[in-house]
Amino acid sequence: MNNPDKPLLSVENLKTYFYTNAGIVKAVDGVSFYVRPGEALGLAGESGCGKSITCHSILRLLPKPAGRIVSGKILFEGVDLVTQPESRMRQWRGKEISMILQDPLMALNPVYTIGNQVAESFQLDKVARKSLQQKVIDVLKSVKIPSVEERLNTYPFQFSGGMRQRTCAAIAISRYPKLLIADEPTTSLDVTIQDQFIKLLKEIQQRHHMALILVTHDLGLVAESCDRVAIMYAGRIVETGSVLRVFENPAHPYTRALMQAIPRLGQKNKRLFQIEGEPPNPANLPPGCYFHPRCHQAMEHCKQEYPPEIPIQGDGYAACWRYHKEEA
């Protein structure tokens, strides 16, 4: 299932739960996927499906004490990150795996200058003082921030949203990590800027041969910029495969519904397609397949047991009982 070609990152059956006063919230409940070096994986799904938590789990940055990785493995270059001590994780963060957060205004410290915050990453690599400023300028130039030299002593609130996000991207790539995770990086940006930013991200990815996990709820983004995709629903992955295959031949009913919901130019019916019902409450998940209450093709078996991951055409898998019969 989780595959060959020496994946850079391989997540196996990850479960991350939140222990709250109101009960146990199973935010991520058995997620498996992999990313190969230099490849772009889209992690897509509705709000609240657990994609952000998955990424935070990889970096072991869950809110304490409520969030905990309950079981599973996160293999990065063969090493299981789940069992590593915090001191080792610190060495990996920023250097091997890095992340761009969703809201750039909140992500930058308001009381320190841009120059100061970008320089910090280089300081962690023990770069000599003299070359520090030049490195900062170089990396900010590489993310296409205009008039860098004059802007080193400015503060985050003086930047526009787009520039702030670029700065965060600069911070993320300054130590040349092997894996870059972008958590809904364009959600808080203006629509006009979103496109620019994604193009920049792709450029960086290709230039540095980085693996990229792009977390988003926008399937259009996935189609444009990713090689493979994993669709998440209620804390589990329901389908994965190459972007080509999944978009042309979606296997899982949820994926099919999502594809149907994408408005297309020239479509005849005036009403946009909407999936009936609502995503389940992670503190109170339905028995069997989590999607069955909303699925038109649900069978008796779907209500009883959660479906296994069934390979589809040798390209990824879908967690759906309909394909089990066919395989058998």
Partner 1 sequence: MRRYILTRILLGVITLIGVSIIVFVAARLSGDVARLMAPANASQEVLEAFRAKYGLDQPIPIQYFIFVRDALRGDFGTSIAFNRPVMEIVMGRIPATMELGFASFILGNLLGILLGIVSAIKRGTWLDWGSTTFSLFGQAIPGFWLAIMLMLIFSVTLHWLPTSGIGGIKHLILPVIATSWFTTAFVLRVTRSSMLDVLDSEYVKLARLKGNSEYKVIFKHALRNALIPVVTMAGMQLAMLIGGLAFTETVFSWPGIGILMVTSINALDYPMIQAITLIVSASVVLINLFVDLLFVVIDPRIKYE
Partner 2 sequence: MKSGGVKTEISRGSLNRYRIEVARIGQWLTRLPFIPIICLLPLFVFGIFGPLLYLHDPHAPNLLIAMQSPAWMAGGNWAYPLGTDQVGRDLLTRLIEGARSSLIVAIFGVLFSGLLGIFLGILAGFAGGKTDNFIMRIVDTFMAIPQIFLMLIIAAALRRAGILGLTPIIIAIAISMWVPYARMVRGETLSLKQREFVALARVTGCSSRRIMLKHIFPGVINIIVVMATTQLGGAIMAEAGMSFLGVGVQPPNTAWGLMISESNKYITSGAWWIPTFAGILITITILGSNLLGDWLRDALDPRTRQAMKKIKRN
Chain contacts with partner 1 (rule: CB under 8 A): 59, 61, 63, 65, 90-95, 98-99, 101, 103, 106-113, 120-121, 124, 155, 157-158, 168, 171, 175
Among 10, 32, 52, 117, binds partner 2 (CB under 8 A): 52
Shortest separation between residue 19's beta carbon and partner 2, angstroms: 10
Shortest separation between residue 210's beta carbon and partner 1, angstroms: 15
Among 61, 66, 261, 272, binds partner 2 (CB under 8 A): 66
Give yes or no for a contact between 89 and 46, defined as CB atoms under 8 angstroms apart: no
User: Which does residue 120 bind out of partner 2, partner 1, none, counting CB within 5 to 8 angstroms by kind?
Assistant: partner 1
Strand partners, 193: none
User: Which does residue 59 bind out of partner 2, partner 1, none, counting CB within 5 to 8 angstroms by kind?
Assistant: partner 1
Q: Which one of the spans 169-177, 220-228, 267-275, 276-284 is the region binding partner 2 (CB under 8 A)?
A: 276-284
Q: Which one of the spans 16-24, 71-79, 114-122, 305-313 is the region binding partner 2 (CB under 8 A)?
A: 16-24
Binding status of residue 22 toward partner 2 by CB under 8 A:
yes
User: Which does residue 157 bind out of partner 1, partner 2, none, counting CB within 5 to 8 angstroms by kind?
Assistant: partner 1
Is it true that the peptide bond before 63 is cis, omega within 30 degrees of 0? no
Binding status of residue 16 toward partner 2 by CB under 8 A:
no
Q: Are strands 228-233 and 236-242 parallel, antiparallel or unpaired?
A: antiparallel
Shortest separation between residue 289's beta carbon and partner 1, angstroms: 34
Number of residues that bind partner 2 (CB under 8 A): 14
Shortest separation between residue 299's beta carbon and partner 2, angstroms: 22
Closer by beta carbon to partner 1, 96 or else 227: 96
Cα dist. 41→70, 202, 205, 223, 303 in Å? 24, 12, 12, 11, 30
Shortest separation between residue 262's beta carbon and partner 2, angstroms: 23
User: Which does residue 94 bind out of partner 2, partner 1, none, counting CB within 5 to 8 angstroms by kind?
Assistant: partner 1
Q: Are strands 9-20 and 23-35 parallel, antiparallel or unpaired?
A: antiparallel
Among 9, 17, 18, 219, binds partner 2 (CB under 8 A): 18
Binding stretches for partner 2 (CB under 8 A): 18, 20-22, 25, 27, 47-48, 52-53, 66, 281-283
